[in-house]
A and B are shown apart, each in its own frame.
Chain A
Amino acid sequence: GAGVSQSPRYKVAKRGQDVALRCDPISGHVSLFWYQQALGQGPEFLTYFQNEAQLDKSGLPSDRFFAERPEGSVSTLKIQRTQQEDSAVYLCASSPGAAGDSYEQYFGPGTRLTVT
């Protein structure tokens, strides 16, 4: 079956531009996570949705970052006024149960964002 998909796969933005990154989770998955992964580092948690509810956004680095999942399926991560330090791979993952229920997370291929 279809896995997690993300679009675009690559995005180059000029400093100060706004970007929107899309995630299509596996159908029926309750949980959706966004991570930021810098080169040579592990994924850093950004935010978590259970269905349409954003239950944890403690990892969002600034108020320029905003995420939504209005109908409990597709999610969008928006970054306003991009800065060079936002350059990273943004990974989306989905899971069939709640975050703490120890289900496997299924990752999408990521969006590689480069801010010039």
Chain B
Amino acid sequence: RKEVEQDPGPFNVPEGATVAFNCTYSNSASQSFFWYRQDCRKEPKLLMSVYSSGNEDGRFTAQLNRASQYISLLIRDSKLSDSATYLCVALWGYSSASKIIFGSGTRLSIRP
């Protein structure tokens, strides 16, 4: 079992729809989580950190469920420009002795 697992998709949704995807992690000691966005043939860029209480940034909402060991990303009122691969990242350990694990990514395609 991979340490961080994501549904690869693709999710194909119409513009304006709401879409959500989850990411599960196996290490219960994971303490920090992130969503990165990666456009085709480009480098990953941070979309948002995920806080324990959940957090929102415009149309994007991230949630953490420690009991079930998953994080989620919700995108409301999706735009064509949201089409990308979304990478889930889990980090455990502290300071210099830590592990950073990326999921394989969920592909999202927004259609007009």
Which residues of A does B touch, CB under 8 Å? 33, 35, 40-45, 48, 50, 55-56, 91, 98-102, 104-105, 107-110
Contacts and interface: CB of A to CB of B under 8 A. Distances in A.
Contacts of A99: 91, 93, 95-96, 98, 100
Interface of B: 4, 6, 8, 31-32, 34, 42-46, 49, 87, 91, 93-105
B91 A43 contact: no
25 contacts: A35-B102, A40-B104, A41-B104, A41-B105, A42-B87, A42-B102, A44-B102, A45-B101, A45-B102, A50-B96, A55-B97, A91-B43, A91-B44, A98-B95, A98-B98, A99-B93, A99-B98, A100-B96, A100-B97, A101-B95, A102-B31, A102-B32, A104-B49, A105-B46, A107-B43
Contacts of B98: 98-100
Contact of A108 (B43, B91, B103): B43
B interface SS class: strand
A interface SS class: mixed
B112 to A, nearest CB: 25
Given A45-B99, A45-B100, A55-B97, A102 B91 contact: yes
Contacts of A55: 96-97
A108 B42 CA distance: 9
Top 9 closest pairs, chain A to chain B, by CB: A100-B98, A107-B43, A42-B102, A102-B32, A100-B94, A98-B95, A42-B104, A104-B46, A99-B98
B105 A42 contact: yes
B62 to A, nearest CB: 14
Contacts of B100: 33, 45, 48, 99, 105
